[in-house]
Homo-oligomer: A and B are copies of this chain.
Amino acid sequence: MSTLGIIVEYNPFHNGHLFHFQQAKKITKADTTIAVMSGSFLQRGEPAIIDKWTRTKMALAQGVDLVIELPTIYATQSADWFAYGATFLLDQLNVDHLVFGSERNSLDLLNDVSDLLLNETTRFKKHLKETLSLGHSYPKALALSINHFLGKEDIEITQPNDILGIQYILNLKKMNSSVKVHTIKREYAGYHDPNISSHPIASATAIRKSIFTNNSLKDILSVVPNSTYQLLIQEFKQNRFNSWDNFFTTLQIMATGKDKLELSNIHGMLEGLENRIKQQLLAASSFSELMNLLTTKRYTKTKIQRTLLYLLLNLTKDKVRSLNVKKGPQYIRVLGFNDVGRAFLRRKKHDLNLPLITNIPRDKPLMLEIDINASKIYEAGFKNPSMIIDEYKQAPIYWK
């Protein structure tokens, strides 16, 4: 018996995810698959289009056996923290394999890079600092320094899945984890196209764009599994597609009421960004207009979205400090399972070092409270209050 771990957002689940998952099972011959999935808000600092429970159903419907929530404080951060939280959970769950998509699909190369980062020398740090001072964003500067030190100047490791993959490997090494790592070539056939083409694989970005632009699901039928499609139709009918637009007024009001000191106390607030937010937030008439006004070379879109998300969640620096993020996730929150997943949990539950959360306990760590609040805030964005999912009443999805 062997267990496969995957790290996902499923925003929403589509044919590319299905392909990845099937390939991963084939490579590892695993009989159980565990997905560590982001909850209500995602790594790029935005609300998921569909709530986490429905995304859990999408995963279970296609054969994932167990879905675990990646706590918000890891799920919404840069690649290093995202990867740390996710691999920490997979290691705690004692999975045998981690399979991830990679643009380069060269485990040797990713291994070399992670070794370089693991043993970060003074020379490497100095080079990185210099590269940053040239005005590059952190991921870009890191990629440049890595290339410089590996002596492969023609190779740029700047693709998102490669960057995440390096962090997965690096973090597992730091933990001395026994989890075995594999890559799958991230097929770009359909991904390159910002729109949906005739190819059965489209990017999640293209799918979301199609849904919001057309206000219809008709074009995505060919690029998602039928189970996803049916669930999307159900959410569509209930007006439960979420986006930053649903939080724009609230953001305006929150940023207006907070003075600069209060804004600068928000987690992730870069120096000077609080001034730009104060100036631009009321000048913009929509969230996308705001993004255009705020984005610069220094403040990337993702960085700004994350900061605005922490503002929306009122995640102050003090709160984040008290979370002790370096010690890893403090619980294993179960979002859903099938019989295989349930059997896995029964076998493992006495050996786990972390509490297994299926119902929200009265006394809970701040890290879990933040997840619950994030989901409450996510739900408050919907216009149909009668449909709102109550985190305290929602049991994990049991997929039969």
Spell out A's residues near B (CB within 8 Å): 247, 249-250, 252-254, 256-259, 262, 282, 285-286, 312-315, 319, 373, 376-377, 379-381, 385-386, 388, 390
Closest to A262 in B: B314
Q: Contacts A249-B249, A249-B380 given; indicate if A385 touches B257 (C-beta within 8 A).
A: no
> Is B249's CB under 8 angstroms from A282's CB?
no
- A85 to chain B minimum Cβ distance, whole angstroms, is 21
- In the bound complex, residues from chain B placing their C-beta under 8 Å from that of A252 are 376-377, 380
Contact B314–A258 (Cβ < 8 Å): yes
Measured between beta carbons, the chain B residues less than 8 angstroms from A285 are 385-386, 388
From residue A157, how far is it (CB to closest CB) to chain B in Å? Answer: 37
Most chain B CB inside 10 Å of its own CB: which residue of A247, A254, A285, A286: A254
A240 to B285, CA, bound (A): 16
Most buried by B among A247, A282, A286, A319: A282
A-B contact sample (8 more), CB < 8 A, given A256-B376, A282-B380: A249-B249, A252-B380, A253-B312, A257-B313, A258-B314, A259-B319, A282-B379, A282-B388
Return 30 A-B CB contacts under 8 Å, by A number.
A247-B253, A249-B249, A249-B380, A250-B250, A250-B254, A252-B376, A252-B377, A253-B312, A253-B377, A253-B381, A254-B254, A256-B373, A256-B376, A256-B380, A257-B312, A257-B313, A257-B314, A257-B315, A257-B373, A257-B377, A258-B314, A262-B314, A282-B376, A282-B379, A282-B380, A282-B388, A285-B385, A285-B386, A285-B388, A286-B385
Quote the shortest CB–CB distance from A309 to chain B (angstroms).
11
Most B C-beta atoms less than 10 A away, residue of A256, A314, A386, A388: A256
Q: How far is the CB of A365 from chain B (nearest CB, A)?
A: 13
A312: chain B residues within 8 A (beta carbon): 253, 257
Bound complex: CA A390 to CA B256 (Å): 13
Contact of A256 with B377 in the complex, beta carbons under 8 Å:
yes
Interface hub of A259, A262, A313 (most chain B Cβ within 10 A): A259
Which one, B286, B380, B390, contacts A253 given CB within 8 A?
Answer: B380
Complex interface: chain B residues within 8 A of A390 (CB): 282
Cα–Cα distance between A194 and B262 once the two chains are bound (Å): 43
Q: What residue of chain B has the Cβ atom nearest to residue A379's Cβ?
A: B282
* Complex-state Cα separation, A386 to B315, whole angstroms: 31
- What residues of B have a CB within 8 angstroms of the CB of A262 in the complex? 314
Give chain B nearest CB distance to A362 CB in angstroms.
13
Minimal beta-carbon separation of A290 from chain B (angstroms): 11
CB distance from A313 to the nearest CB of B (A): 5
- Residue from the list B249, B254, B380, B385 in contact with A314, Cβ < 8 A: B254
How far is A241 from B286 in the complex, measured between Cα atoms in Å?
20
Q: Could you tell me if A253 and B256 are in contact, using CB atoms closer than 8 angstroms?
A: no
CA distance A103 to B312 in the complex (A): 46
Q: How far is the CB of A288 from chain B (nearest CB, A)?
A: 12
A285–B385 Cα distance when bound, in Å, is 5
Distance A285 CA – B285 CA, assembled complex (angstroms): 26
Contacting residues, chain B, for A286 (C-beta < 8 A): 385
What B residues does A379 contact at CB under 8 A?
282
Hey, which chain B residues are within 8 Å of A377, CB to CB? 252-253, 256-257
Q: Give every chain B residue within 8 A of A256 (Cβ-Cβ).
A: 373, 376-377, 380
6 closest residue pairs by CB, A with B = A257-B314, A285-B385, A250-B250, A252-B380, A256-B376, A253-B377
Q: Measured between C-beta atoms, what is the minimum distance from A26 to chain B in Å? A: 43
Chain B residues whose CB sits within 8 angstroms of the CB of A314 once the complex forms: 254, 257-258, 262
Point out the residues of chain B lying under 8 angstroms from A247, CB to CB. 253
Q: Which residue of B lies closest to A380 (CB)?
A: B252
CB distance from A77 to the nearest CB of B (A): 18
Which chain B residue has the least Cβ–Cβ distance from A258? Answer: B314
